[in-house]
Homo-oligomer: A and B are copies of this chain.
Amino acid sequence: MSQQTKILLEEHEMPRRWYNIVPDLPEPPPPPLHPGTHQPAVAEDFAALFPKALIAQEMSQERYIDIPDQILEVYRLWRPSPLFRAHRLEKLLDTPAKIYYKYEGVSPAGSHKPNTAVPQVFYNAQEGIRKLTTETGAGQWGSSLAFACAQFGLECEIWQVAASYRAKPYRRTMMEVWGGKVHPSPSQVTAYGRELLAQDPQHPGSLGIAISEAVMEAVEDPQTRYALGSVLNHVLLHQTIIGEEALLQLAKVGDTPDVLVGCTGGGSNFGGLAFPFLREKLKGNMDPVIRCVEPTACPTLTKGQYRYDFGDTAGLTPLMKMHTLGHAFIPEPIHAGGLRYHGMAPLVSHIYALGLVEAIAIPQTECFAGALQFARAEGIVPAPEPTHAIAAAVREALACKESGEEKTILTALCGHGHLDLGSYEKYLAGEMVDLDLADEQIEAAMQSVPEISST
């Protein structure tokens, strides 16, 4: 118990470039397609939504991309983030395994999301954009973008799913503290929102509707752009600083992972931790099992299909080849709001299809049981999303107890749960149930996936 608990890096040790896994993959990922022509999308297809620098990163074939100094300066407010050795959890589980977790809850917004919010705002500011719009569900992404906009003096307008806007006022207030303007979605601001409110003044909203409103608002003004918090290549790129730091930190204690587990919603937290380790695996420097963990209520990888589909519910975005449950799929209301997405990042889907990573689904009561053990041993109360990663790490550690193997397990604790304690309240009250999807539900939702003749 007297060993080191936190493995830290000094600011001057922080990685100065992001890692793009694309050129290192055995096969290139399938390109996005124009939704009308079904031909590979080109940069101009994204120009109304994103600044040129981010579109270039989205399509880049460069292995490394330098992080501008202005971004590194903001990263220093919380980065490098700590890597913890979970001595006390290991003791509680009575396992011979070593458990490490990379903790992203030290960021001002409390999750990994600012890792990409900051560069997204920076590149927009560089190109003279004055305002960014986005959607948010649980609120992690909206608050991260509001924080980043405050750093570079941009306006930030956020459409928050109405049900969440009403149920989680603290998240909204956090966005407003950083200067963000928050609308419940559907809103009176857009024609689409007004139409939905006319049908139902108490409309609960959905992520798909909120995306549509944010996109519609962005394309109307040449000095406004839209920002997305996961799924896209450039978002995963920015998150690779997590894995690059973890590599340096494990090297400091002379360890390499035998198993890496991360939770997957859109895929950015998982990709951020896993891609640098996958690079080392492909180079033959280490040989970890790399495993995605998703909720049984939204089993994109384990029960979805690898098909071209839309990124949003309304079908406005380019078509992306990804594991999907169908863009019309509305996930059950599980507590891990950040994992409720019908699709999976195209890059994560591609490496899964190539067999480079595994995937499992875990029901939420097992996740919260693991989170409670974790919180009582390690102190930190995890956000609902990484409870999936923790539950997977606990499974692995208990398997090691059975087998006697001294495996090294690495996972990502991508955020704290301070603004999600309502989920824990439900769990502690015994009111949380597991939601298993019937095959017919998935089959029905898959009907919304378009038939693309060229694939």
Interface pair B77/A378, CB less than 8 Å apart: yes
Instruction: Give the docked Cα–Cα distance between A1 and B70 (Å).
Output: 9
Decide if A421 touches B108 in the complex (CB within 8 Å). no
Q: Bound state CA distance, A147 and B376, in angstroms?
A: 7
Name the one of B416, B421, B428 contacting A170, with C-beta atoms under 8 angstroms. Answer: B421
1/0 contact string of A28-65 vs chain B (CB within 8 Å): 00000000000000000000000000000000000000
Write the chain B residue with the least CB distance to A419. Answer: B418
Please tell me if the beta carbons of A11 and B2 are within 8 angstroms of each other in the complex.
no
**A106 contacts partner chain B, Cβ-Cβ < 8 Å:** yes
A64 CB to nearest B CB, Å: 21
CA distance A2 to B372 in the complex (A): 40
- Give the contacts of A137-177 with B (CB-CB under 8 A): 147, 150-151, 169-170, 173-174, 176-177
Interface string of A396-436 (1 = CB under 8 A from B): 00000000000000000000101101101100100000000
Q: How far is the CA of A176 from the CA of B424 in the complex (A)?
A: 9
Copies in the assembly, this chain = 2
Does A200 make an interface contact (CB < 8 A)?
A: no
Contacts of A170 in B (CB 8 A): 170, 418-419, 421-422
Q: A8-B10, A110-B418, A169-B425 are in contact. Are A376 and B2 (CB under 8 A)?
A: no
A110 to B419 Cα, complex, angstroms: 13
Counting chain B CB atoms within 10 Å of each CB, which of A5, A422, A424 scores highest? Answer: A5
> Bound state CA distance, A374 and B10, in angstroms?
24
Cβ proximity bits A169-192 to B, threshold 8 Å, 1 near / 0 not: 110011011110000000000000
Flag whether A439 is at the interface (Cβ < 8 A).
no
A428 in contact with B2 (CB, 8 Å) = no
Contact, CB under 8 Å: B5 / A8 = no
Flag if A76 contacts B173 (CB, 8 Å).
no
24 cross-chain CB contacts under 8 A: A1-B73, A5-B11, A5-B76, A8-B8, A8-B10, A78-B379, A88-B151, A106-B106, A107-B379, A108-B381, A110-B418, A150-B377, A151-B379, A170-B419, A170-B421, A170-B422, A174-B424, A176-B428, A177-B372, A177-B376, A177-B424, A177-B428, A178-B375, A416-B418
A-B contact sample (19 more), CB < 8 A, given A1-B73, A418-B418: A2-B73, A4-B11, A4-B76, A5-B73, A6-B76, A108-B379, A110-B418, A151-B379, A170-B170, A170-B419, A173-B421, A174-B381, A174-B421, A176-B424, A177-B372, A177-B375, A177-B381, A177-B421, A177-B428
Of all A-B residue pairs in the complex, the 10 with the closest CB atoms, nearest first, are: A108-B379, A418-B418, A5-B76, A170-B421, A173-B421, A150-B376, A173-B425, A77-B379, A177-B375, A173-B424
